[in-house]
Structure 1
């Protein structure tokens, strides 16, 4: 099995490097500047699970000459359109696309550009970032990829993907409910991002502030009301877990969107919060707090783009 990892940033670089170090056939699709950096320094990971440096196999878009078995799509959501064009020649009739983007809008975009059969469900759980030297820094001791057919079946092609992923230095599993897990991840990210970014603080800082717990609970309730109407309803176990995560007065938890905002970077506000607000409006569901967060984030994004 041959895998093309689209992007060698903090997510794609991490999982791709672990797979390559375990002897799997992995190539990274990168822009010229990143390619030059990686050829000079190697792809480096600093991690509680063990540091790693590899000499990665690299391609730029113009160098793709045949389809791959699997395309692991790891770009930020606002880079999806350009990434699709870059990797289009790597997608054949039988190629499996595993997208680990946030939100759900990308699933429709990919199915429209290629074919529904090309797109499988996938989520990752990792806290990582790139430092100023281009090294991948894993911030916490969890790293998981889950994948599966969107109809819940256990296909032979997913069995092959699972065999490729196993024993590569991270947790990997086939999920029979990958669609629900993708919606659950979006619930968590939309709620976490809205809380952090609108209140400009970690979960614990917001929870300890006057009215903070009520605010965090209300944000989550709004998001849950939308997903239960327009998406796949989350499990009761997940709802209990995520409410505890978002109201922990001792938590230092922040979203990557909030960390990007603090650094003055572009953010995924449209895909994580905006798309949730848009779906709520189409379904006639009021989301005043989530809408306020989206307005705030849109104002920031417009300023950054200028």
Structure 2
């Protein structure tokens, strides 16, 4: 036992219909269980709850003794562990804790007996039991000293399935919104994933000039306690436009291009739209190649300064090429150039 153990359930996995077992009665595969870390809290052994003798070995896990709640604040602290001292000590209590503020759930662990010696195998067994019915997305275990034994602490991340997804407000399509948020009906959702979805949607709306978009992802219950209705509340706000377009190019090629720069599709006064800007870059690069700049690359940058938005267009033209064909009496030079895709 050397490093902290975390177990992750694959995203999007449906909840098993049976309780506590998979089809065929097989126990959760051991491959789902990763390495375990048992962490102790320095000084905790000197501050023990004064609630009587330790629990006898035949008591079942989850039946915590009176007084353990007074030590819970200390149990939640993270500290370097003394693994060699804790391994093999009797388990005096088991604490199951959920992360975050959503879907708190207390679930007894019945696969571990109080008084049983602490080991990585015992902790993996407890984690497998908690993950078995699909109510939690991931879990990890550690241990803390308690009187002459240890407290086995199991921390779990609750998960739910999205029965449906409702979008309120917004200015982009449902397909584009869900794709950017990485959400789909029937998939899993956790509190951390809800926060990640909000950040992705803010980034999405920023790409289209909605700098002050307000995004809120909330979940409400359904008749099934393991399924939720997810709501995406989107207030785009005002969309920003380009104040000034600036071309960046070597002066010697700037004179050669002349009016060709005017073919760039995005102009002053247009809304910020990263998709349209990428299309404009590709179209401009193709126009430059047709003009003889075969190595042309076009990029852009949006610079926000207060109320102004500056669009910088970088024209990396490369050398200008001209082709001449000798001994050709049948085809025009333009036909040969097109055939060679030059």
TM over 0.5: no
Larger Rg: 2
**TM-score normalized by the length of structure 1:** 0.19
**TM-score normalized by the length of structure 2:** 0.18
